């Protein structure tokens, strides 16, 4: 993928004081928090759906997806709209910064223990000017197996 190019353009987001990178080419938009319509009986990290300029878009709370403690939304909370294959999804993150060029040579494979986030969701890490940036494996984040498992049980009535 993009790692082969010398610079890895990413949107830097913040979750629980840590910085994560999402490749800029899958990001469709960055939105402020707006009314989210809850969709019953879906996984708890699925916050619901929003009207994104006429397209009904599901919203995932990344904190919950990664098993972090959930916090109230603030002024800086953002929704990152991501287009991955057939999926159109929005991620709720604590904050979103600008685009950052991550030089390829600063990228290293993810160490076994990274702390807050399950190592499965991290593809690699990058050190840029003393900042440690965790690069998300979006396919894993959106993977359906884990989503299905998290889905609540079927209706029995």
Partner 1 sequence: MENNEYLEVFIEESKEHIQSLNDQLLILENEPANMDTIGEIFRSAHTLKGMAATMGFQDLADLTHKMENVLDAVRNHHVNITSPIIDVLFQAVDQLEGMVFDIAEGGNGAADVKELVHTLQAIEQNQEVIEAIPANAHATVETALNQASAFAQLDQFELAILDQSSENGFQNLQVTIKLNEHCLLKAARVYMVFEVLEQIGEVIKSNPTVQELEEENFDLTFHVLLVTKDTADLVKQKILKVSEIEEVITESFSSVQEQADQADSASGENADRQEANESLSSKQDKQQEVNQKKKTSGVSNKTIRVNIDRLDGLMNLFEELVIDRGRLEQISANLKHAELQETVERMTRISGDLQNIILNMRMVPIEQVFNRFPRMVRQLSKDLGKQINLEIIGAETELDRTVIDEIGDPLVHLIRNALDHGVETPAVRKQNGKNEEGQLLLKAYHSGNHVFIEISDDGAGINRDKVIKKAVSNQVITEEEASHLTDKQVYQLIMSSGFSTADKISDVSGRGVGLDVVKNTIESLGGTITIESEEGKGSLFSIQLPLTLSIIPVLLVEVVREKYAVPLSSIIETAIINKVDILNAHNKQVIDFRGKVVPLINLKQIFEVPAEEEEETFYSVVIIRKGDKMAGLIVDRFIGQQEVVLKSLGEYLGDVFAISGATILGDGQVALIIDTNSFIN
Interface characters, 117-146, with partner 1 (x: CB under 8 A): -------------------------x-x--
Residues 58, 63, 65: CA angle, nearest 5 degrees: 60
Residue 87 lies near partner 1 (rule: CB under 8 A): yes
Closest approach, Cβ 41 to partner 1, in A, equals 5
Q: Please identify which residue in 2, 58, 95, 140 interacts with partner 1, judged by CB under 8 A.
A: 58
Closest approach, Cβ 32 to partner 1, in A, equals 14
Q: What is the distance between the alpha carbons of residues 65 and 141, in angstroms, rounded to a whole number?
A: 8
Q: What is the distance between the alpha carbons of residues 55 and 146, in angstroms, rounded to a whole number?
A: 25
Residue 54 lies near partner 1 (rule: CB under 8 A): yes
Cβ closest to partner 1, residue 66 vs residue 91: 91
Q: What is the distance between the alpha carbons of residues 91 and 98, in angstroms, rounded to a whole number?
A: 16
Q: What is the distance between the alpha carbons of residues 136 and 18, in angstroms, rounded to a whole number?
A: 12
Kindly tell me the burial class for residue 11, based on how many C-beta atoms sit within 10 Å of its own C-beta (0-12, 13-18, 19 or more): buried
Residue 149 lies near partner 1 (rule: CB under 8 A): no
Q: Please identify which residue in 56, 71, 119, 132 interacts with partner 1, judged by CB under 8 A.
A: 56
Closest approach, Cβ 45 to partner 1, in A, equals 12
Tokens at residue 86, please?
Answer: 């057939």
- Residue 31 belongs to what H/E stretch? strand 27-32
Q: List interacting residues with partner 1 (CB under 8 A).
A: 35, 37-42, 46, 48-51, 54-58, 86-89, 142, 144, 147, 154-155, 157
């Amino acid at each position: 993928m993009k790692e082969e190019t010398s610079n890895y353009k990413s949107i830097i987001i913040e979750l629980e004081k840590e910085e994560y990178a999402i490749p800029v080419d899958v990001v469709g938009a960055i939105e402020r928090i707006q009314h989210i319509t809850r969709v019953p009986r879906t996984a708890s990290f699925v916050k619901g759906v929003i009207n994104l300029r006429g397209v009904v878009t599901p919203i995932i709370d990344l904190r919950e997806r990664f098993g972090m403690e959930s916090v109230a939304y603030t002024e800086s909370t953002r929704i990152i709209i991501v287009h991955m294959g057939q999926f159109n999804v929005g991620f709720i993150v604590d904050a979103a910064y600008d685009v950052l060029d991550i030089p390829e040579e600063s990228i290293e494979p993810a160490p076994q223990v990274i702390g807050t986030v399950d190592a499965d969701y991290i593809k690699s890490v990058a050190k840029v000017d003393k900042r440690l940036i965790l690069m998300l494996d979006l396919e894993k984040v959106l993977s359906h197996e884990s989503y299905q498992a998290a889905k609540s049980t079927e209706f029995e009535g």
